Amino acid sequence: MKSAALPWYQQVVWLFKAGPTEWHPGVFPAGKVTLALLPLAVLGFPVAAARRPVWAAAPLAGFGFLLVWPVKWPQYLMLVLLPLAICAAHAPATIVALVRRLRRGSPARETAT
């Protein structure tokens, strides 16, 4: 991103920063939700990949495109926001599956006699 003088990872920065919330304070009340989007999407990614592989491949392809092609506007993130939101929607299923696996795998506590 030499022409815009931005680092190559600027798209990830914009994903966490929610630029429009800074430019127009008070207009976008849900702007801080973007802070949780990427961690929840990473958490829900395995379930999304198992249930709908297209929704798991879309954010990877989109981020690959955005990190390679030097874009200089945060609006290009629209390419990956929907697939990330779909993956994030699967995060509760991942947590439930993890809790069930831990309950099944944990040995029963023995009572001391």
In the chain, where the domains are located: 10-104
Length in residues, the chain:
113
- Spell out the residues 6+ positions from residue 81 whose beta carbon is closer than 8 angstroms to its own: 37
Q: What is the chain's mean pLDDT, rounded?
A: 81
pLDDT of amino acid 36: 84
Q: What's the CA gap between 34 and 24, in Å, rounded? A: 16
pLDDT of amino acid 3: 63
Report CA torsion sign: 18, 15, 55, 8: positive
Cβ burial 45-75 (10 Å sphere, 16+ → b, else e): bbbbbeeeeebbebbeebbeebeeeebeebe
Mean pLDDT of 80-85: 90
pLDDT at 45 exceeding the cut of 50: yes
More confident residue, 55 or 12: 55
For residue 1, what pLDDT band results from cuts at 50, 70 and 90? very low
Mean pLDDT of 88-106: 89
pTM of the predicted structure, to 2 decimals: 0.73
Q: What's the CA gap between 90 and 48, in Å, rounded? A: 6
- Spell out the residues 6+ positions from residue 56 whose beta carbon is closer than 8 angstroms to its own: 45, 48, 49, 83, 87
